[in-house]
């Protein structure tokens, strides 16, 4: 999955507003994540099957490959639909770790509040282009509050 930056003027979340959105975000991610993993795996398998091989019409494997490619195309459209639902909420699906980013301001710069599927609440932040392993605890950070002020 390619990393995408949030829109030019993203909706900014507070920890509280992100947590209020979690029931809906969690439901979408519950549907999205396993399908995303399946699509990613299927793309890899198809690439392996066609790499350095001549796939000719009439070959018994070509029909199976065509069916796999058609299923992949349909599933990829469903994945994009779920990702679009999240984007409409103002959040970004970050992929392999079932990770979601909520744009926010931290110490005057745009970052993501970071939530991973299964966590009870938002408790971390991450730079926009950082890897999941680089998430930071919110306990030592100044995050935008409901009233626009920063809190620790």
Q: What is the pLDDT of residue 89?
A: 95
* Chunked mean pLDDT (size 10), the chain, 152 residues: 55 94 95 92 86 67 82 94 95 86 92 94 93 87 54 44
Q: What is the pLDDT of residue 123?
A: 93
Q: What is the pLDDT of residue 10?
A: 78
DSSP per residue, 131-152: -GGG-EEGGGS-EE-TTS-EE-
| 102, 94 Cβ separation under 8 angstroms | no
Q: What is the pLDDT of residue 143?
A: 57
Q: What is the pLDDT of residue 56?
A: 67
């Amino acid at each position: 999955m390619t990393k995408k930056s949030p829109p030019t003027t993203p909706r900014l979340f507070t920890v509280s507003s992100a947590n209020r959105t979690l029931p809906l975000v969690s439901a979408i991610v519950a549907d999205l994540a396993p399908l995303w993993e399946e699509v990613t795996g299927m793309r890899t398998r198809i690439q392996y099957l066609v790499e350095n091989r001549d796939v000719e019409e009439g070959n018994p494997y070509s029909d199976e490959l065509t069916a796999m490619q058609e299923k992949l195309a349909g599933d990829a459209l469903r994945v994009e639909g779920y990702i679009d639902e999240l984007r409409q909420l103002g959040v970004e699906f970050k992929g392999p770790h079932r990770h979601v980013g909520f744009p926010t301001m931290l110490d005057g710069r745009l970052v993501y509040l970071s939530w991973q599927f299964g966590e009870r609440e938002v408790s971390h932040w991450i730079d926009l282009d950082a890897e999941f392993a680089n998430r930071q605890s919110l306990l030592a950070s100044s995050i935008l509050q409901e009233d626009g002020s920063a809190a620790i």
